[in-house]
Amino acid sequence: MGRWEPDAAGRLRAAALELFLERGYEQTTVADIAERAGVTARTFFRHFADKREVLFAGGGVLEAQLVTALDAVPASAAPLTAAGRALEAVADLLADREFSRRRQVVIAANAELRERELIKLAAWSSSLADGLRRRGVAEPAARLAAETAVAVFRVAFERWVAEDEQAGLAELVRDSLAELGRLTRRTTSRR
């Protein structure tokens, strides 16, 4: 290995993503990633538990931010509005659209990674539901609002990583929530 360079975690993340896109997730080893990043495998494991975590590192921080953002929403906000605002705050933290696009390509191509992504989103939903219950929202409304908000986030995220999309993720979360509102009003008015 060459001389020490800063930001080993960032270089490992970039190297892993490049290799996953070039070779495929399953065909890429930790040793391959470390070599591409110019570090040892030991250094890799100082930063990440396994190669999957390169794509999911920081998930706990985002989930904690989600709870903090939910707690900051005024108590008068409706449950779905509160959950949506919390997800907008998390969306503002996801600034690197190109990384997210490339990451999503890798995840979409691998069942294990899709499952891990769903687990992450289920944890977000659970945290939102817990936060809503702390705000006094009863069941099943807390869970319905949390699950719905996460579904809205997923739709917004898919739009955000699309090649031709220019809007920011937080804006797309707001737009998707508004579209859901229009959709539910149309559905209830037809009864």
Q: How confident is the model at residue 1 (pLDDT cuts 50, 70, 90)?
A: very low
In a shared domain, residues 44 and 70: no
Q: Report the number of distinct structural domains present in the chain.
A: 2
In a shared domain, residues 133 and 68: yes
- Domain region containing 67: 58-189
Q: How confident is the model at residue 57 (pLDDT cuts 50, 70, 90)?
A: confident
Q: What is the pLDDT of residues 70-123, one digit of tens each?
A: 999 999 999 999 999 999 999 988 878 999 999 999 999 999 999 999 999 999
Q: Does 117 reside within a domain? A: yes
In this structure, how many other beta carbons lie within 10 angstroms of the beta carbon of residue 56? 19
In a shared domain, residues 124 and 77: yes
Which helix (H) or strand (E) covers residue 146, if one does?
Answer: helix 141-160
In a shared domain, residues 77 and 160: yes
Q: What is the pLDDT of residue 5?
A: 61
> Which CA distances in Å does 135 have to 25, 57, 68, 131?
41, 29, 13, 6
CATH number of the domain residue 158 falls in: 1.10.357.10
What is the percentage of the chain residues whose pLDDT exceeds 70? Answer: 95
Contacts of 139 (CB under 8 A, 6+ apart): 133
In a shared domain, residues 31 and 46: yes
In a shared domain, residues 31 and 86: no
The values of phi and psi at residue 12, to 5°, are -65, -40
CATH number of the domain residue 30 falls in: 1.10.10.60
In a shared domain, residues 26 and 73: no
In this structure, how many other beta carbons lie within 10 angstroms of the beta carbon of residue 60? 11
Q: What is the pLDDT of residues 29-45, one digit of tens each?
A: 999 999 999 999 999 99
In a shared domain, residues 50 and 102: no
In a shared domain, residues 95 and 49: no
